[in-house]
Amino acid sequence: MKPLDIDKVLDELTITEKIELLSGTDFWHTKAIPRLNIPAIRTTDGPNGARGTRFFNGVPAACFPCGTAMGATWDTELMRKAGELMGEEVRAKGAHVLLGPTVNIQRSPLGGRGFESFSEDPTLSGTIAAAVIQGVQFKGVAATIKHFVCNDQEHERMGVNAIITDRALREIYLKPFQIVQRDAKPKAVMTAYNKVNGVHASESKKLITDILRTEWGFDGCIMSDWFGVYSASEAVKAGLDLEMPGPPRLRGEQLMIAINGQKLSTHEVDKCVRNVLNLVNLGIASGVPENAPEGKLDTPETAALLKRVAESSIVLLKNEKSVLPFSKEKTIAVIGPNAKHAAYSGGGSANLRPYYTTTPYDAIKAVASRPIYYALGSASFVTLPQLGGRLKTSKGKKGCTMRFYRDSPKVKDREVLEEIVIDNTFAFLADWSHPDIEGDLFYAELEGTLEPEEDGAWEFGIAVRGTAQLFVDGKLVVDNLTCQRRGDSFFGSGTVEERGSIELKAGKKYRILVQFGSAPTSNYKLAAGVAPMNGGGINFGGFQKIDPEVELQKAVELAKKVDQVVVCAGLNSDIESEGFDRPNMDHPPHLDALISAICATNSNTTVVLQSGTPVSTTWASAAPAILQAWYGGNEAGTAIASVLFGDTNPSGKLSLSYPLRVEDNPAYLSFRSDRGRVLYGEDVYVGYRWYEKIQREVRWNFGHGLSYTTFQFSKLRVRAHQAADSLEVEVWVKNTGGRAGEQVVQVYVSQGSPGVGRPVKELRGFEKVAVEKGGNELVKIKMSLRYACSWWDEVRDAWVMEAGPYKVLLGDSSQGGFLEKEFEVEKTEWWSGV
């Protein structure tokens, strides 16, 4: 198909068609105008991989490690390759636009979507994001950097006003977007839900037109977050091109009224239409057909790259007496709630249906030479585990049968509209449709057989956007229909999980039946500012009731009998998810007690933490070895096993600080909405900048990460060239240990006599280098001198690089043993742009 002649098309479009082009038609597609050969463009979530067009029962996809894990690689070359695979996945899903990556700053460990973002530091975040975007767009599809800007919490995210100084906005929160625009030129930007200094981001002329387009030169398409448009003409005037999803809630007729009332000019509409058509032309150039079928790239090459990324992200936090790597020849116990659970992703729009998952238990068992022993030790779920893996259909298939109906269960002999088999018991149906259903009202049944392995009480639970009841052999066990309570499920639009229990017998087959009504059947009110998600959804699960003390003692007794122990702890998608923030940094109940008890029992214990943001580790001093393994995507378990046994030498570095307590975090007193506003009171002192400025001890500092070998830096050279806007750093990296490994050279810059209060030092460049045993590698890092030295001058409304002395501090973490070298900026310079 030929690219559109945009000027010609603009002349031929009617005003109605132009308005139609400024919003989607459904959850994922833009408007097609067949008479002018304008095809629809398909978008797809998201930051962890390309899901495709279905939240529910979609085509499986490659699940990448979460954002903080990718940030922890500190590896731009690898991230570009990961981006290329993401681009191929987008094409495989018949899509043209990837809705990612996420580059919001992790100002607090409690942010519900913190796992999606790369770092607390704007330089690391922007540089990693730029590498990913370069890879994605190399494959001919568009990347969408998001969320522009300050979407750093979930609490009241659609209305909260982020009150922030211009200096903090520029130096911390806008900086990663600025770096990406300079280095990768993304084709699309997604605005944030929230307000910034009193104006919603989606209708902020200052952010969209003045900064992004005029100052930085962005020439792509600016779209809203889903349901993140709150005005018609105001958003168009600000420069928001595309309202998503469709059909439009605020555009359409309202824009026509605004034009007729001369609140809005056709010239302003045309500017937005032009940007949408440029995106359409990109879709045409990609060669991906309109409405293409969705496919898979589940290949050995895909698996190998996902494994490499997951391995590169794992951070060795502690390794006393060289407990790690473990021996495959010795006995090993795998203990903990994440041992047989694949914690591959956080929750929300970043989640997807993976090609497969790997658990630590299975991966360790696959490579160990001796038998593997297991104990649960403690449960960590907030909602009861999904039952898809435990249920069987009437034909013996894994999973359950789901039937859709037009009528409620009260209608006798109602017609089945669709029948499918699903392999899990979570169904988010916001984008489900059927030609015989008008509107959002429909019903469904989910049915399967459960055969317990032991006698005992089972607990079942349902969270729903809509209504639901669960029956076991015809007996009502869970009622989430007659009395409903609003909760955090389904992006904040659903209920709490209602539970019920029943005694079951081992070996007996029980019929599990769930009757579901879609969102319009709900009998509770949505919280203010929550997107309706009108199709609704259901999540039901079950688990045999356990006694925490009994499970802990079983684990302790097992730990006494083996040579080595792995405790698989951390969080999961129940706890870290879009739609809500964490209330604290704690582990689930009983898990800290389990870790402490196992560490006291066996001196060869390693704790593997899986989370996207920090968890409380009060037991850290007692644990011989600790790995931060994040949410590792498809290959999470395999990567953990590879590092545990030393097949891979860990090289990850923390992409955020690990505080001792949540109270130590700089945003502690100003996180969450306080009657509609949140004050960014820490100003520019985010993350390590705060801890260093007030000399507050942390558990593990930003950039920290150990190896199974050792490295030494020497012969630091620094050259500053103001006229060329260049700061060049060179250092030799020697591997002084007993095996090959990778080291991250981290370059921080400190100003000698700043005209304002500044952080002690700030990350300005980095490079990951592989060094053979006994080898010595020269590392060269070239940075923009302006970016390395400048701060935002609110008086001049510009960046300023002050004349005077500066210092490069080069190390392997923000608190590493630094090599230092001074350099000079000859004259003060104000500047703007990228």
> For residue range 87-119, what is the model confidence (pLDDT) as tens digits?
999 999 999 999 999 999 999 999 999 999 999
Question: Could you give the CA distance from residue 285 to residue 2 in angstroms, rounded to a whole number?
Answer: 8
User: Is residue 720 predicted with pLDDT exceeding 90?
Assistant: yes
pLDDT band at 46 (very low <50, low <70, confident <90, very high): confident
Whose structure tokens read 């000079």?
824
Residue 293: burial class (beta carbons within 10 Å; 0-12, 13-18, 19+): exposed
User: Is residue 737 predicted with pLDDT exceeding 80?
Assistant: yes
User: Is residue 712 predicted with pLDDT exceeding 80?
Assistant: yes
pTM of the prediction? Answer: 0.96
Whose structure tokens read 């060179």?
730
Question: Could you give the CA distance from residue 801 to residue 788 in angstroms, rounded to a whole number?
Answer: 9
> For residue range 336-353, what is the model confidence (pLDDT) as tens digits?
999 999 999 999 989 899
pLDDT band at 532 (very low <50, low <70, confident <90, very high): confident
pLDDT band at 682 (very low <50, low <70, confident <90, very high): very high
Task: List, by residue range, all CATH 2.60.120.260 domains of the chain.
Answer: 383-544
- pLDDT value at residue 525: 84
Q: Which CATH class is domain 383-544?
A: mainly beta
* Active site (annotated) includes residue 674: no
> For residue range 482-492, what is the model confidence (pLDDT) as tens digits?
989 999 899 88
- Mean pLDDT lowest among 350-359, 561-570, 781-790: 350-359
- pLDDT value at residue 477: 98
Average pLDDT over residues 33-40: 98
Which pairing describes strands 142-148 and 188-191: parallel, antiparallel, or unpaired? parallel
Query: CB–CB of 692/760 below 8 Å?
Result: yes
| Helix or strand holding residue 368 (H, E) | none
- pLDDT value at residue 358: 96
CB neighbour burial string for 33-72, b if at least 16 within 10 angstroms, e if fewer: beeeebbbbbbbbbbbbbbbbbbbbbbbbbbbbbbbbbbb
- pLDDT value at residue 534: 80
User: Is residue 389 predicted with pLDDT exceeding 90?
Assistant: no
Task: List, by residue range, all CATH 3.20.20.300 domains of the chain.
Answer: 6-286
- Residue 299 per-residue DSSP state: -
Average pLDDT over residues 151-170: 96
- pLDDT value at residue 283: 98
Task: List, by residue range, all CATH 2.60.40.10 domains of the chain.
Answer: 711-831
User: Is residue 527 predicted with pLDDT exceeding 90?
Assistant: no
Q: What is the CATH number of domain 6-286?
A: 3.20.20.300
Between helices 636-644 and 300-313, what is the axis angle to 10°?
60
- pLDDT value at residue 576: 95
Average pLDDT over residues 61-84: 98
| 315: nearest Cα among 665, 745, 610, 633 | 610
- pLDDT value at residue 492: 87
- pLDDT value at residue 357: 95
- pLDDT greater at residue 530 or residue 85: 85
Instruction: Round the average pLDDT of the chain to a whole number and report it.
Output: 96
> For residue range 571-621, what is the model confidence (pLDDT) as tens digits?
999 999 999 999 999 999 999 999 999 999 999 999 999 999 999 999 999
Average pLDDT over residues 450-465: 96
- pLDDT value at residue 816: 81
Task: List, by residue range, all CATH 3.40.50.1700 domains of the chain.
Answer: 305-381+547-700
Q: What are phi and psi of 658, to 5 degrees?
A: -110, 95
> For residue range 628-671, what is the model confidence (pLDDT) as tens digits?
999 999 999 999 999 999 999 999 999 999 999 999 999 999 99
Average pLDDT over residues 779-783: 98
The matching CATH number, chosen from 3.40.50.1700, 3.30.930.10, 3.40.50.1000, 3.30.450.40, for 305-381+547-700 is 3.40.50.1700
Q: Which residue out of 75, 121, 152, 225 is catalytically annotated?
A: 225
State the CATH architecture for 711-831.
Sandwich (2.60)
User: Is residue 528 predicted with pLDDT exceeding 80?
Assistant: no
- pLDDT value at residue 684: 98
Average pLDDT over residues 556-561: 98
Question: Could you give the CA distance from residue 484 to residue 465 in angstroms, rounded to a whole number?
Answer: 10
